[in-house]
Structure 1
């Protein structure tokens, strides 16, 4: 009598889906690595007694609607109050850690306004010695 032996199965790992998984992991790490600020090299910087402090830039939003409503940082103000409110903001020109603050007025004016209305606001910025930038739409 002939006894049949069991055929031993060959152990195999199914790797067809492994390519898809590796592709998604690679894609995930590439996307995440672009979002992280690069701080790859840490260097000890030398000290200098004559170095100037770097100014921190802060923006002040000045919005003018088509019906001449004025807003400074989302707070409604009258036209006569704009100069005093801006000068009050500009007086605080240092941060708690002693760095100088450089302010920039970002002017958003409705396109239906007269040019003179916009120039009046730019003149206020010039009186206060602050840079004024006018926002426009790219067409």
Structure 2
């Protein structure tokens, strides 16, 4: 009596798919090696003598302090005096808004740089960002 199992499971793997894969990789690397040239010409712009480097600060900077007060650092293009004087504690948003609008719109690029203390609230930074969005300025966030 044959009590052995009639169903045998084949454990060997199919090599046809492996050879197809190796062939495709071989073709890929042959094509890529012929396309890669070692001396690829790169056209660089020629230096011209008309380039000028400007050291003039054309950005008005708004500094937000720890207690959510504002200080303005005027750009070099501005010729007006700061009406607030030198104050270490800053001023509120309502006091600085109109002055900031006139100072930023004097600059040719209409950029405003926003620098804030780490403990400044998001609302204080967002007020300046919202103002720059409504006026069409280019805000730049400064962080360290």
Q: Which has the larger radius of gyration?
A: 2
TM-score normalised according to structure 2 size: 0.46
Q: Which has the higher strand share?
A: 1
TM-score normalised according to structure 1 size: 0.47
